Amino acid sequence: MGISASDVVCDGPYRQSSSLSTKGCQIDYLVQTATKNLFVCEFKCKRREIGSDIIDTLKEKINALKVPRGYATVPILFHLGGVTSLVETEGYFYRIIDIAAFLENY
């Protein structure tokens, strides 16, 4: 993802319960860094290519997420099964990581 391990403050799956003032959301994997970034990671494993609807889905999650003042959100997509060219060229995701390519190196 391009994050130094020494910069990670905390990481893991994240669930925000809904209340009167906030919407609920579930983040597959959230990484908080010392540089005040929240890496919002979405994991998708499909037989077909992942379409541009993934962008809207992640935008909804990030909008619902209660982000501390001064923090930036950084969307990242992990996928297995490919993504459409529109997802790649849209420029929404900071990184698009093919899980299959990652596993081939190990």
Q: What is the pLDDT of residues 20-63, one digit of tens each?
A: 888 899 999 999 999 999 999 999 988 888 998 999 999 999 99
| Predicted local distance difference test score (pLDDT) of residue 105 | 65
| First CA to last CA distance, the chain | 17
Query: For the whole model, what pTM was predicted?
Result: 0.88
CATH code of the domain containing 24: 3.40.1350
DSSP classification of residue 36: S
Contact 3, 38 (CB under 8 A): no
Sheet holding 72-80, edge to edge: 8-16, 25-33, 37-45, 72-80, 95-98
Please write the tens of the pLDDT for every residue from 61-71: 999 999 999 99
Chain Cα centroid distance, residue 106: 23
Q: How many domains does the chain have?
A: 1
Contact 97, 74 (CB under 8 A): no
Domain of residue 56, residue span = 5-104
Contact 99, 78 (CB under 8 A): yes
Which residue would you say has higher pLDDT here, 97 or 102?
97
